[in-house]
Structure 1
Amino acid sequence: MVSAPPILFGAKLRELRLAAGLSLNDLAALVHYSKGYLSKIETGQKQPTDDIARRCDAALGTSGDLVTLLPGKPQHGPAGETSVDGEGWTMTLVPGGASWFQPMDRRQALASGTASMLTFGISAGNTQTASTVPIDVFRAMFDHFRRLGQSMSPAVVLPALVTHTHTLRELARNARPGERGEVLTLCARYAEYAGWMAQESGNDHAALWWTDRAVEMAEAGGDREMATYAVVRRALVAFYRGDAHDTIELAKQAQNPNSSHRIRGLAAQREAQGHALAGDYDQCMRGLDRARALLAAATNESTLPPLGPTNVADPVAMTEGWSLHDLGRPHEAASILDREMDRIPGHAVRSRARYGVRQALAHAASGEVEHACVLTARILDLVDAADSVTVNTDLQRLARTLARFHTSSAVKAIQPRLVTSLHRPST
């Protein structure tokens, strides 16, 4: 994306507004920003934001023309770069209960006196000590971990996930020949979920490292689906970085015709979200239609724990609501999110927090400030429990949107509680 000075963005906005026959007052009413603010954008006195660009594109029907003029976002390196010198990952625990992970090659470990590391090479095993692995037990435990991941901080769930991943990997070494592949495939699911918890805790590098380990173990177990799903996960990291181009390109790569309907459906959803970031409504809707058809055909494809979200009744509809907000269509987004929020089970705290913040954000962006504050009050306890960096990113957007209505009594009332959640220390 080519950077453009604010004066060029403003001139283009004015040109498009006049071509549409709208006054500044007219446009202000459509996008729920003040006339004075829009005037400063047009004259180059204010830097345009993603939000104002998308809303103006939607109001003027300009299919992302203004989004393309936004200054380029800083790059943090390709989403796939996760290599370290060696395959080690150290876990640190401190008396207060906190934990964290960091990559460390073997030379570093020796130099620092580290006694042991979690390493994830795959060996052929030892058939002389082959034993039966209680796969059903570990499968049931994985379901429990997923449920825990919905209601507890990732900092609490992640160490246990890592331990069980390591245990399964060790058990696979000595499993009976007919079981080894099944054990490694389940182990890969544990590793992939560890990656998701790492991302929720704010460590993208760790998230991708664990995803790569999941691919290695799945392939050793004869399952190549994880390699394709890993690309979908990298697209998600790009999406949360606000990188529309990488989100779209990675999602397209994952739509391999040899992959399962579910993987291709999840990839199509991610591509649609990338197009929403880019302000392309038509491409976004086409991607969602593709995702809907593919996921409908994915029923009973596998007996393994399913990859991707499992607590949302209609993931495509929820993604559509999310995307419509990013496309500057908050009224449409709010209508869908209102309906879909009622279908999320009560135990799915993380999902309710994630989409509840989006729901409140859509209503706030629609100018329904008092209702947005009511919704915000309902979900802040859930946000605190989820302790998610990705959810907090949207909570910050919600706080900025509500701050534009700082004279509202409802905003004044919710502000102290909102600030507490925003600045709550991680577990």
Structure 2
Amino acid sequence: MAFGAQLRQCRQAAGLSLRQLAGRVGYDHSYLSQVERGQRPGSADLARLCDGELGTGDRLVETYRRTSTKARTGTPAMRTHSLETAWQQLTTALPDSVLLPQWPDQLDELRRLPAARRLPELVSRLSTLQTDRQAGHDARQAELSVWVAETLTACGRVGEARRWWWAARQLADGCGDTGLSSLVRSREATSGLSEGRALSELLPLADEALALALQEPLHPDHLLGARAVRARILAGLGRVVEAHEQLPEVLSYANELPSASTGAGQTPYEVHAVEGSVCASLGYWTAGCLMFARALELCPSERLEERALLELGMAECFAGGGQGPAALALALRVLIELPDEWHTTYVYGVAERVLAVVRSREPRLPGLHDLDRLLAAEAWGGRTVGSESSSGLGRE
């Protein structure tokens, strides 16, 4: 019996729904559905966790090992390449790029996977592009490289992420698409803010992103991203007047995106999140909180990390507005309720800002030690336990 069919049989025998089992093992229910239907192979980690929750001994682990071994021997072209192999393939192909950058959005589904499980999918797609080169693959590789870089950063592997940012810029520039080149630089600068890179290093990236975006005024989402990250960097550098000059432009370009939810650009909730981040960087705490709240209402429920970031953005606005107890309570709830596998450096970056602001204003406030302790745990280091797991936080 195939692993997916065995999993469905064991789950039904235990009387659990897909959502119940997904909550216990920390996986998205739609992913489990795809595994049960044979649309995804699953993983040894999933099999182990399901065995534990369903009381099936090692049955699912053994089934997965047996079926995955058959799959590997039967279809060698589909073997997962290592990250290093994908990097070598990518850099080898750089000089021979094909210049056609348009492609449909095929990466949205990856947002439903936590960072550690997203990485193998990205590597697999990169490897497929390398073995089956067609027109437009340079642009696809550029976007995949951005996702790899962001995912590595989310997992705390910042050093490795740097070279993937470099590759993304090289590939985007080689396509001759100024909008794509702008987008890559905006996302690198935004990621750099989260990982704590020097602002003086990030500002040239933001300047380049804006200059490139201005060459394509028909793409307001590129202008939005470039101006937003530039405003945040300028505010951090203390160049407040220049940062404030960006705010009307950010709001103006955001208003030009009424159909973003159906296009390849930013969705409405992402636009409001950008607005909230800019407002927060400029000290407009009430406006920022409202923007984050609006974004949270529109953000799909399955995007756990993004929802956590939006709530932490609200907590940062509470902290900046002098509502320390509310900020700590919200930040603690987010980190406690968010399954460990969804904890990332991006999440911790915002939570650390909340902690720093509250501590500077109310150093004896109850809850500071608890938040500090949670952040010190760095839960993205490898645990994969869902918040509803019957085994609690002790399982490794």
> Does the TM-score normalized on the shorter chain lie above 0.5?
yes
CA distance in 2, matches of 1:314, 1:184: 31
Question: Contact 2:261 / 2:267 at 8 angstroms: preserved in 1?
Answer: no
RMSD: 4.0
Question: Contact 1:212 / 1:230 at 8 angstroms: preserved in 2?
Answer: no
Question: Contact 1:353 / 1:391 at 8 angstroms: preserved in 2?
Answer: yes
| Greater Cα shift, 329-338 or 288-297 | 329-338
Residue 357 (structure 2) pairs with residue 392 (structure 1): no
Residue 232 (structure 2) pairs with residue 273 (structure 1): yes
| Greater Cα shift, 159-168 or 315-324 | 315-324
CA distance in 1, matches of 2:127, 2:250: 34
Match of 2:241 in 1: 282
Q: Secondary structure at the match of 1:121?
A: helix
CA distance in 2, matches of 1:310, 1:334: 16
Indicate which of 69, 77, 92 corresponds to 1:121: 92
CA distance in 1, matches of 2:232, 2:244: 10
Question: Contact 1:357 / 1:376 at 8 angstroms: preserved in 2?
Answer: yes
Alpha-carbon distance change, 364 to 262 in structure 1, aligned in 2, over 3 angstroms: closer
Cα offset, 1:263, TM superposition: 1.9
Matches within 5 A, 1:302-313: 305-306=264-265, 311-313=269-271
Residue 210 (structure 2) pairs with residue 255 (structure 1): yes
Which of the pair has more CA radius of gyration?
1
Q: Secondary structure at the match of 1:181?
A: coil
Indicate which of 355, 365, 368 corresponds to 2:323: 368
Residue 104 (structure 2) pairs with residue 155 (structure 1): no
Match of 2:275 in 1: 317
Match of 1:146 in 2: 111
Indicate which of 301, 311, 314 corresponds to 1:346: 301
CA offsets, 1:46-71, max 9 Å, x none?
xxxxxxxxxxxxxxxxxxxxxxxxxx
- Give the partner amino acid of 1:396: E
Q: Give the paired residue count.
A: 293
CA distance in 2, matches of 1:322, 1:347: 25
Matches within 5 A, 1:50-69: none
Q: Secondary structure at the match of 2:92?
A: coil
CA distance in 2, matches of 1:184, 1:346: 32
Cα offset, 1:418, TM superposition: 5.8
| Greater Cα shift, 193-202 or 257-266 | 257-266
Q: Secondary structure at the match of 1:258?
A: coil
Alpha-carbon distance change, 223 to 310 in structure 1, aligned in 2, over 3 angstroms: farther
Indicate which of 126, 132, 138 corresponds to 1:165: 126
Question: Contact 1:192 / 1:214 at 8 angstroms: preserved in 2?
Answer: yes
Alpha-carbon distance change, 303 to 191 in structure 1, aligned in 2, over 3 angstroms: farther
Question: Contact 1:191 / 1:214 at 8 angstroms: preserved in 2?
Answer: yes
CA distance in 1, matches of 2:141, 2:258: 23
Residue 382 (structure 2) pairs with residue 382 (structure 1): no
Q: Secondary structure at the match of 1:279?
A: coil
CA distance in 2, matches of 1:210, 1:275: 25
CA distance in 2, matches of 1:219, 1:319: 28
Question: Which structure's residues are more often helix, by fraction?
Answer: 2
Alpha-carbon distance change, 171 to 223 in structure 1, aligned in 2, over 3 angstroms: farther
Cα offset, 1:336, TM superposition: 4.3
Match of 1:192 in 2: 146
Alpha-carbon distance change, 299 to 376 in structure 1, aligned in 2, over 3 angstroms: closer
- Give the partner amino acid of 1:144: E
Cα offset, 1:239, TM superposition: 2.8
Q: Secondary structure at the match of 1:367?
A: coil
Alpha-carbon distance change, 282 to 342 in structure 1, aligned in 2, over 3 angstroms: farther
CA distance in 2, matches of 1:361, 1:302: 27
Alpha-carbon distance change, 347 to 271 in structure 1, aligned in 2, over 3 angstroms: same
CA distance in 1, matches of 2:351, 2:319: 12
Indicate which of 110, 127, 136 corresponds to 1:182: 136
Cα offset, 1:275, TM superposition: 1.9
- Give the partner amino acid of 1:164: R
Cα offset, 1:316, TM superposition: 3.8
CA distance in 1, matches of 2:371, 2:201: 36
Alpha-carbon distance change, 305 to 186 in structure 1, aligned in 2, over 3 angstroms: farther
Alpha-carbon distance change, 382 to 195 in structure 1, aligned in 2, over 3 angstroms: same
CA offsets, 1:355-398, max 9 Å, x none?
32232232234332332233224311237442211221222233
- Give the partner amino acid of 2:158: D
Alpha-carbon distance change, 333 to 280 in structure 1, aligned in 2, over 3 angstroms: farther
